[in-house]
């Protein structure tokens, strides 16, 4: 591989050199990642100079933040969360290279709809800002927040987080251009902090000149900030990018009752693992809601890994704004890369043109394999509504050691929450594991990735998918459901009480008298060029969910697939589109004869055999407009007018957790007794898409969630022995 190795400390980044290096050798618990993009941070500069608190032994490869594709999974993990080919981001020493090794706890799946470039700068800056403002300062609607160096990486993240929680943001920066950048990210007011009177200017922007409630300081302006901080204000000490450790006049801190709050995000994984989960829940929820966005603006470019020293010098000299990203996807024998692309370093900031809104509500937007027992993304940090900083004890506990429950629900969608509501009202004290980035999406399931839902009863004006799941979750909690934001990683269904362990605490075994499996299923995708960009802006995996959306009416639509599902979806779309083209890879349909006959004889349908999709293209509005297709027999390519593309190539149920323990059908779906949710193991019930291969709708999932709850309640009443609510099971032994 190629990379920047440090064999001795340097005075300047200009001394760094790119060399040919041996590939990293992952330990048994480490992944090998092909780095497609990496991010620069001030601590990278300090580390190469020997001034950072964490200094690896020589020689070492510099860089920490990255995004890329999994090349190899850990040899010591039986069920790795990220299979080969997974798009991930994270932090690990050695990001300034074409390959890096990383532990599973240092990785997350790239957010849905984000490119690897977008994700590369997320792992450090986003949680630092969210953890500081939400966890440590308790930011809330109505607060005035002062963000220093607001055009920097953590600064831009802080602006977005504060705005998402309803605060008024005053941003500071040192140039007109940087102030414009901060403004474009949502800052309400901007102030040039090179003006000696900036504290006075900030005060005048607050109601009655009282000062700001929260100061976010990554550069070392604490002392001057006390002049414009309100009574009971909080000053968050995030870093000292200005280059020196400042002295603070403590009399001002005392007289104004100011709290000085330190934030060392890197140590939370050591001292407060549960806080890491909470923070990423909040970040992913903001991303899902469109309140925290990647940046796509470029001021300047540095081509090649050899130019990384210049980029670090520019960063250290305050010549940049936003996040400097290093792009270096390269062709590696046996890797997933398809082409060799020049390395590129570029400054990234906020686009002045907002991304096109997601215009329709497919409930099948899952990127990672459904079997990935991944870190989930929970609902919001609505607990932080107080004026005072939130204390760690107030954070949701991720798990309790050796906990026993009457019933455990695994899942976070309509099936899971409906089951929880029924069971909680029956006073069975259900425990629901909503996961953390399970299946690559936020807790709440597929609906959290959708926009407006118009076919869920009770909402005549429609409702946003995230809002619907927030309401379901609130209703679950109202009746006493304990919701734990961690992923169940393994279960043992061989005997009752059933045993299970979570991803973050794999050695802490818990037990349950019954389990409801509601882990869902994910639609298969083709990952065509352009697919990520136009997903939900023309591409869907559910015609019934999205076909009636206005952007598809009287337009040319395409369905990919050759089975009964493809035929049904194509026939359904003829109600809305002007014409439907069905692409079939082989020379005949797999659909039943009656469905094939209807499809081939419909006047609004054209079936093209031996044809595959090649690339999705769009218009200047950000919507899909054309599809490049190829005849697999001749190799000839053609561009079709297509304003909609619907995948009908099957689904993958999330059943890896119970593989070999529950009966499944040939497609992997859990088999249930007809008319019930009973599985092949007594006391285990399945609800939602994990056992439904036909309907796959939010309302049908909710219905089976109700069924599972009633089935579980009946089972528990028939097998009730001794009270089992949260009793100590410290004596539980054995491996899962």
Write out the H or E segment, with its range, that includes residue 534: helix 531-534
Residues 545, 652, 692, 711: which is the catalytic one? 545
HSE (CB half, 13 Å, CA atoms) of 90?
27
Extended strands (E) in 336-424: 344-348, 404-410
Q: Other C-beta atoms within 10 Å of 331: how many?
A: 12
Question: What number of other Cβ atoms are within 10 A of residue 25's Cβ?
Answer: 8
Question: Cβ contacts of residue 50 below 8 Å, gap of 6+?
Answer: 9
Q: What is the 3-state secondary structure (H, E, C) of 219-230?
A: CCCHHHHHHHEE
Task: From the candidates 118, 213, 470, 546, give the one annotated as an active-site residue.
Answer: 546
Alpha helices in 575-719 (DSSP H): 593-600, 698-718
CA separation (Å) from 262 to 42, 215, 244, 269, 389?
18, 12, 16, 16, 12
Number of alpha helices (DSSP H) and beta strands (DSSP E) in the chain: 18, 36
User: In terms of Cα–Cα distance, which of 634, 644, 617, 636 is closest to 560?
Assistant: 644
Which secondary structure element, helix H or strand E, spans residue 616, and what is its range?
Answer: strand 611-618
What does residue 721 show for φ and ψ, rounded to 5 degrees?
Answer: -120, -80
Name the active-site residue from 143, 213, 542, 711.
542
Annotation says 228 is catalytic:
no
3-class DSSP assignment, residue 704: helix
Termini Cα distance of the chain: 38
Q: Tell me the C-alpha distance between 639 and 616, whole Å.
A: 9
The reply to whether omega before 321 is within 30° of 0 (cis) is: no
The enclosing H or E element of 253 equals helix 250-255
340 in active site: no
Q: Phi/psi of residue 452, each to 5°?
A: -80, 135
Active site includes 545? yes
Query: What is the residue whose two structure tokens read 């040039």?
Result: 192
Place of tokens 């991720």: 398
Q: What is the DSSP string of 361-376?
A: --S----S-TT---B-
Question: Which DSSP letter does residue 536 get?
Answer: T
Query: CA-to-CA distance for 442 and 267, rounded, in angstroms?
Result: 24
| Cis amide bond preceding 368, omega within 30 | no
Q: Which of 670, 5, 672, 108 is nearest to 376 (CA)?
A: 108
Catalytic residues: 542, 545-546
């Amino acid at each position: 591989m190629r990379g920047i190795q440090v064999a001795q400390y340097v005075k300047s980044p200009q001394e760094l050199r790119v060399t040919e290096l041996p590939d990293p050798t992952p330990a048994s618990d480490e992944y090998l990642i092909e780095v497609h993009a990496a991010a620069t941070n001030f601590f990278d500069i300090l580390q190469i100079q020997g001034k950072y608190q964490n200094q690896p032994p020589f020689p070492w490869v510099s860089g920490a933040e990255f995004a890329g594709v999994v090349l190899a999974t850990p040899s010591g993990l039986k069920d790795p969360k990220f299979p080969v080919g997974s798009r991930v981001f994270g932090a690990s020493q050695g990001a300034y290279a074409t390959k890096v090794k990383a532990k599973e706890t240092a990785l997350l799946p790239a957010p849905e709809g984000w490119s690897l470039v977008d994700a590369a700068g997320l792992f450090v800056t986003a949680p630092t800002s969210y953890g500081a403002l939400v966890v440590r300062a308790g930011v809330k609607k109505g607060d005035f927040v002062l963000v220093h160096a607001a055009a920097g990486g953590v600064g831009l993240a802080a602006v977005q987080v504060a705005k998402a929680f309803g605060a008024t943001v005053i941003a500071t920066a040192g140039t007109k251009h940087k102030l414009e950048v901060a403004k474009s990210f949502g800052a309400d007011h901007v102030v040039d902090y090179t003006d000696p009177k900036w504290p006075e200017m900030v005060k005048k922007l607050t109601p009655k000149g009282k000062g700001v409630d929260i100061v976010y300081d990554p550069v070392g302006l604490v002392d001057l900030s006390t002049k414009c901080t309100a009574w009971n204000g909080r000053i968050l000490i995030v870093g000292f990018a200005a280059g020196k450790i400042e002295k603070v006049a403590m009399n001002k801190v005392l007289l104004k009752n100011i709290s000085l709050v330190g934030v060392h995000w890197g140590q939370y994984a050591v001292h407060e693992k549960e806080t890491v989960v909470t923070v990423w829940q909040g970040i992913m929820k903001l991303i899902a809601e469109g309140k925290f966005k990647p940046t796509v603006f470029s001021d300047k470019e540095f081509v090649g890994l050899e130019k990384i020293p210049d980029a670090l010098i520019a960063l250290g000299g305050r010549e940049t704004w936003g996040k400097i990203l290093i792009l270096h996807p390269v062709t590696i024998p046996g890797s997933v890369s398809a082409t060799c692309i020049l390395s590129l370093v570029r400054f990234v900031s906020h686009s002045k043109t907002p991304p096109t809104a997601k215009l329709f509500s497919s409930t099948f937007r899952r990127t990672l394999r459904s079997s990935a027992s991944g870190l989930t993304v929970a609902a919001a940090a609505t607990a932080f509504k107080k004026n005072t900083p939130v204390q760690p004890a107030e954070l949701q506990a991720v798990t309790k050691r050796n906990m026993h429950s009457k019933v455990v629900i695994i899942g976070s969608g309509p099936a899971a929450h409906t089951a929880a509501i029924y069971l909680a009202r029956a006073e069975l004290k259900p425990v629901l594991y909503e996961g953390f980035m399970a299946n690559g999406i936020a807790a709440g399931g597929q609906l959290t990735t959708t926009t407006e839902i118009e076919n869920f009863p009770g909402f005549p004006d429609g409702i946003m998918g995230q809002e619907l799941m927030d309401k379901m979750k609130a209703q679950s909690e109202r009746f006493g459901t304990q919701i734990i934001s961690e992923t169940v990683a393994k279960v043992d269904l061989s005997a009752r009480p059933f045993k299970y362990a979570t991803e973050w605490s794999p050695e802490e075994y818990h037990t349950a008298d019954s389990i409801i499996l509601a882990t869902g299923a994910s639609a298969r995708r083709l990952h065509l060029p352009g697919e990520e960009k136009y997903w939900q802006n023309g591409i869907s995996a559910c015609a019934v969910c999205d076909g009636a959306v206005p952007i598809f009416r009287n337009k040319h639509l395409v369905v990919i697939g050759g089975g009964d599902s493809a035929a049904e979806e194509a026939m359904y779309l003829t109600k809305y589109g002007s014409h439907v083209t069905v692409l079939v890879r082989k020379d005949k349909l797999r659909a039943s004869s009656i469905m094939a006959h209807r499809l081939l004889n419909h006047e609004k349908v054209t079936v093209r055999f031996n044809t595959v999709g090649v690339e999705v293209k769009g218009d200047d509005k950000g919507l899909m407009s054309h599809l490049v297709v190829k005849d697999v027999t001749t190799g000839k390519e053609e561009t079709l007018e297509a304003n909609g593309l619907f995948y009908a190539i099957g689904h993958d149920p999330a059943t890896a957790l119970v593989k070999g323990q529950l009966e499944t059908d040939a497609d992997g779906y859990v088999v249930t007794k007809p008319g019930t949710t009973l599985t092949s193991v007594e006391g285990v019930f399945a609800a939602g898409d994990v056992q439904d291969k036909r309907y796959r709708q939010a309302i049908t999932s909710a219905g089976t969630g109700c069924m599972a709850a009633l089935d579980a309640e009946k089972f528990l009443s028939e097998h009730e022995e001794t009270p089992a609510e949260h009793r100590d099971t410290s004596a539980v032994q054995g491996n899962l």
